[in-house]
Structures are given as structure tokens and as C-alpha cells.
Structure 1
Amino acid sequence: MSENELTVFAISDFTGKTAETILNSVAIQFDNDRITIKKFSDVSDIDKLAAIIDEAMQVDNILLAYTIVLPELSAYLENEANRLDLPVIDILGPMINSFSQALDQQPQLEVGLSYNIDYEIFEKISCIDFSLRCDDGRNLNKLKEADFVLIGVSRTSKTPLSIYLSQQNYNIATISLSPEVIPPKELYELPSEKIIGLTIEPEYLQKIRENRIKLMAFNQGGDYVSRERIEEELEYAKEIMNKIDARIINITNKAIEDIAGEILNKIK
């Protein structure tokens, strides 16, 4: 690994979402392509920590960051990291100590306590943020982190579906298909069961695009709304979907929530 690349282990004795979200918020300030965040959740004993530390020793440029509440586990991690000269960050500890001093009260130190209150809200925010950052082929380096990827031609409801599904606590990415653009190689590296192909009847898509042109106040849509072009795009998309063995859903005249229900049924 290059000296300019960094691997961060996000270690938690619960879901790891807190550590992962904070680290992603920091990473976005830098070149994300050079930062890899690997999450370790439910780390509840020293044996699991020891295995993670052994793995960290095999990485050239490593940073350990943790949200571990139990003192015996965090102490072990700190001691081992210092002994092995591994950089380590306690994400929650300093804040817990500051609260304790200010309130003159000992913390409960219960794993996952905060999630009893706001875990669902936190999860939704995290998933929505992911889906917005990975919409329309952006941040392809994050594609493998998606729960599933929506592909299809323009105006097949990929983005509305991604937002709707992200509110159901799914990380969604979307990629548009067009005959002039070769699909990214990252798409072919995904397991086929994670890829959902959205198709539509050509006459229905033509009406959607015509309405879009009117809303945008364009005088004419050219090839974008021509039946011949639309059929060409759909045929090309079908070839790609079949090539990667995507799960295909016809969205013609269906509401977003109904399409989302079909998607969730297909991935179960």
C-alpha cells in the first residue's frame, strides 16, 4: 500500500454505525479514494480484539478508531496498540469523561444504550446520506458498501426509489445506463443478487420524458423523447442487465412504494 493511502479500522462493541459515520465525516474532508474504512461490529471479548489487532499488524498504514464502552475492552485495545506502536483513537471516551466531570455523575457504561432512543433516526440519516453520495454513478469506490444497486435508463425512478429505500435503512447506489456510456467496471465486480435492473414499457417512458421536457420548459426533446431512441436505450439496458444477471423489475405505471416492495421481496 502507498504511504499516501490509509486504512482505518472502525471497532465497536455494538453496531459500529457511530464510529463509521464519524470516520466517514472526517474522510470526506480528504481524498476518499485513498482512505479505506473497515468496520468491525459486535466486538464483545478480548479474543475478537486480539484477532483484529493481528490483522491490523499486516497493514502498512493503519489507524484504529473505536467506540467501545466497556472499560476492560477499551483498556486492552489501548495497551496493545501502544505496545505494538499502532495509532489508536478513542472516539467516545473523552466525551464520556467530560460529561461525567461536568455532571459529577458516573456513566452507565451500557453497550448500545443510546440506540434505545435514536438508533432508527441515526440509521435513516446515515443511509440517506450514503444514497445521495452514491446517486447516478458517483463515488464508485463506495459501490461495494451498497446493500443493492439500481440500474436503468434515464427516468426509470432510480433516484426517487433510492431515497425511499434509504428511509427503510438501506444503503442504495444508482447507475444510469446509456448506449454511449460503458458501465463502470465496479458494477461487474458486484454479486448479481445486489443489482436491481429497472425497466419500463417504451410508450410509458416516452410520456414521462415528454412531461419532463415540458416541466423544464424546453421547446423540444430531440432524441431524448423519440420512440426509436427510447427502444434503443431499453434494449441496450436489457442486454447489460442480462449480462450481469441482474434482478429485473418492470416499473410501468407503478407507484414508488409498490416498486420498492417488489425490490425488497426480490432481495429476501
Structure 2
Amino acid sequence: MTESTDNITIYTISDFTGKTVNTVVKSVMIQFDLAAASIKKFNNVCSLEKLSGIIEQAREEENPILVYTLVLPELCQYLEDRAAEYNLLAIDIIGPYLNQFSEIIDRQPQLEIGLSYQIDHEVFQRIECIDFSVRCDDGRDLNKLTEADFIIIGVSRTSKTPLSMYLAHQQYRVATISLSPEVIVPAELYEIPTEKIIGLSIDPRVLQKIRSYRVELMDFSSEIDYVKLPRIKEEIAYANQVMDEVASKIIDVSYKSVEEIAVEILRTE
């Protein structure tokens, strides 16, 4: 045991980024006023050879303390054995917790290096995709079309936005563009590879029911062209013409859920 705090050298050893072990060590140093202690950080330690070299280096220190977060049992056991052999102080940050939880829930840990980082990365990617899809919804921010994984086009009320959000949660960047005879198709759309562009078509009478329900909810007049069948047929005919020109696939969404449409889109990859 180290009796003096003078000349303490703390070795932080991790099989990945070292974020966990270094955060713990920093907190401990503050609690014990160990600002004078030096820290040597060793990340991505995934082999016995590399671990052995670190231990040999620590043996040359006056007051070394080895603090580690190693998931692989063979590395942990090797460090424990060498520490006992050379009378080195070694502190396992994560091992005891893994063992206790394993006993409590009667299940073995996955023992995957960097698993928490992978999960954090997936969450970050999902948030980034959702943000992208919101910013590029309904023809906004056309400069970012080239960054999209998919560009979904179709007339109003064909589930383009709900679909883009669903796909964003699957970590896809999605932009949407509404098609209407009175609105010029963005020139940027014609510069995008067709395999990225997905068209959504729909039966006119199904769309009329969807729009009529929407108009009723908004307390608008049911006599507007938006819900009249001739106008709807005109919009769909125009949209189909555009989709034939630019889309790699046209999906009939008349009786499909968002999840079913998404499955068809992902089949195009």
C-alpha cells in the first residue's frame, strides 16, 4: 500500500477510449487533493503484449497506482496476477460491478469493448438524422439535398413527413418535396441520382378521404379545391409524370402504414 502521496503516478488503463477510468480518477484526485500526482494514460489496451509493457513501465515508478477498466477477462486476470507478483497497487473500476450484476440478474455480461460508445454513437446519429429531416422537410434547405440518403416526393398528404421521421429514427437522412402543378419542381432535384429519389403515389379517392378528414379537423370549408376529386386527380397525374422522370421507385401508399412504406423504401438500397 502506498503510504505517502508524494511522487504518486497514476496509470489509467483502458481497452477503449479511457473516458470512464479517467473520469473516475479525476473525481478521486479532487476528493483527496492529489493535484500533484501525475497521470499516465493508456487507451486501447487490447493485447497482453501491450499490457505487459505498461506494467513493466509502472514497476520503475516510485509510487505507481494502476487504475483500469478492462472488459476482457484474460487481460484483467493478467494484470491482477502481475500486480500481485510485483506488489503493485491495482484498482479494477468496472470488474466488481460486472460480477455483482451478473450474480443479481443471473446473466453473463456481453464483454464487448466500447459497447457504451457504440450506443452513444447510435443515439447521436439518430438525433442528427432527425434534425436533418426536420430542416429538409417540404422542400426546405434544398442545398442539403445531396446529403440525403433518400428524397421522398409526392402530392400533399401522402405521409411524406411521418415517413421521413420514421426513417430518421432508423438513422437515415431524409428530405421531402411536395409536388403540385402550380409549383415548379426544384432544379436541384434533377441533379440527384435517381436511386435516392422515392415517389409516393396514391389512389385519388383514398387521398380525398384523407384530405377531407384533415379539412374537417382544421375547420375549413369542405368546398375548397383541395378536397375535390377532379383537382386531386390532376395533382396525382402531374406528380406521377414528375416521378416517372426522376424517381427510382414509385410506391403506392393507398392502404399502407408508414412502417410498410419504409420497408419498401429500404428494399431499394
TM-score bracket relative to the smaller structure: 0.5 to 0.7
Correspondence for 2:237 among 209, 229, 235: 235
Match runs of 1:55-134 below 5 Å: 102-103=26-27, 106-110=40-44, 113=114, 115-134=117-136
Cα shift at 1:253: 1.3
**Where does residue 139 of structure 2 map in the other structure?**
137
The residue type paired with residue 130 of structure 1 is F
What whole-Å deviation, never above 9, does each CA across 1:227-262 have from its counterpart, x for those lacking one? 000000000001101112431000011111011111
What whole-Å deviation, never above 9, does each CA across 1:27-49 have from its counterpart, x for those lacking one? xxxxxxxxxxxxxxxxxxxxxxx
Alpha carbons of 1:207 and 1:115: their partners in 2 closer, same or farther (altered >3 Å)?
same
Q: TM-score if structure 1 supplies the norm length?
A: 0.59
The residue type paired with residue 145 of structure 2 is L
Question: What stretches of structure 2 of length at least 5 have no aligned partner?
Answer: 1-18, 30-38, 46-112
Whose Rg is larger? 2
Contact 2:199 2:247 in 1 (8 A): no
The residue type paired with residue 250 of structure 2 is I
Q: SS of the counterpart of 1:253?
A: coil
Alpha carbons of 1:106 and 1:238: their partners in 2 closer, same or farther (altered >3 Å)?
farther
The residue type paired with residue 225 of structure 1 is V
Correspondence for 2:191 among 189, 192, 204: 189
Q: SS of the counterpart of 2:265?
A: helix
Question: What stretches of structure 1 of length at least 5 have no aligned partner?
Answer: 1-94
The residue type paired with residue 174 of structure 1 is T
Q: TM-score if structure 2 supplies the norm length?
A: 0.59
Q: SS of the counterpart of 1:156?
A: coil
Report the Cα distance in structure 2 between the residues aligned to 1:115 and 1:234, rounded to whole angstroms.
Answer: 46
What whole-Å deviation, never above 9, does each CA across 1:37-68 have from its counterpart, x for those lacking one? xxxxxxxxxxxxxxxxxxxxxxxxxxxxxxxx
**Where does residue 216 of structure 1 map in the other structure?**
218
Alpha carbons of 1:108 and 1:208: their partners in 2 closer, same or farther (altered >3 Å)?
farther
Q: SS of the counterpart of 2:153?
A: strand
Contact 1:193 1:246 in 2 (8 A): yes
Contact 1:131 1:173 in 2 (8 A): yes
Cα shift at 1:219: 2.7
Report the Cα distance in structure 2 between the residues aligned to 1:130 and 1:120, rounded to whole angstroms.
Answer: 15
Contact 1:213 1:221 in 2 (8 A): no
Match runs of 1:24-43 below 5 Å: none
The residue type paired with residue 252 of structure 1 is S
Q: What is the RMSD of the two structures over their aligned residues, measured on CA atoms?
A: 2.5
Cα shift at 1:122: 1.2
Q: SS of the counterpart of 1:248?
A: strand
Q: SS of the counterpart of 1:154?
A: coil
Count of residues paired in the alignment: 173
Contact 1:100 1:107 in 2 (8 A): no
Q: Between the two proteins, what is the percent identity of the paired residues?
A: 55
The residue type paired with residue 206 of structure 1 is Q
What whole-Å deviation, never above 9, does each CA across 1:55-86 have from its counterpart, x for those lacking one? xxxxxxxxxxxxxxxxxxxxxxxxxxxxxxxx
Cα shift at 1:99: 6.1
Contact 1:197 1:247 in 2 (8 A): yes
What whole-Å deviation, never above 9, does each CA across 1:187-238 have from its counterpart, x for those lacking one? 0000000000000000000000000001111132511001000000000001
Q: SS of the counterpart of 1:229?
A: helix
Correspondence for 1:172 among 171, 174, 185: 174
Correspondence for 2:202 among 195, 200, 203: 200
Report the Cα distance in structure 2 between the residues aligned to 1:106 and 1:162, rounded to whole angstroms.
Answer: 47
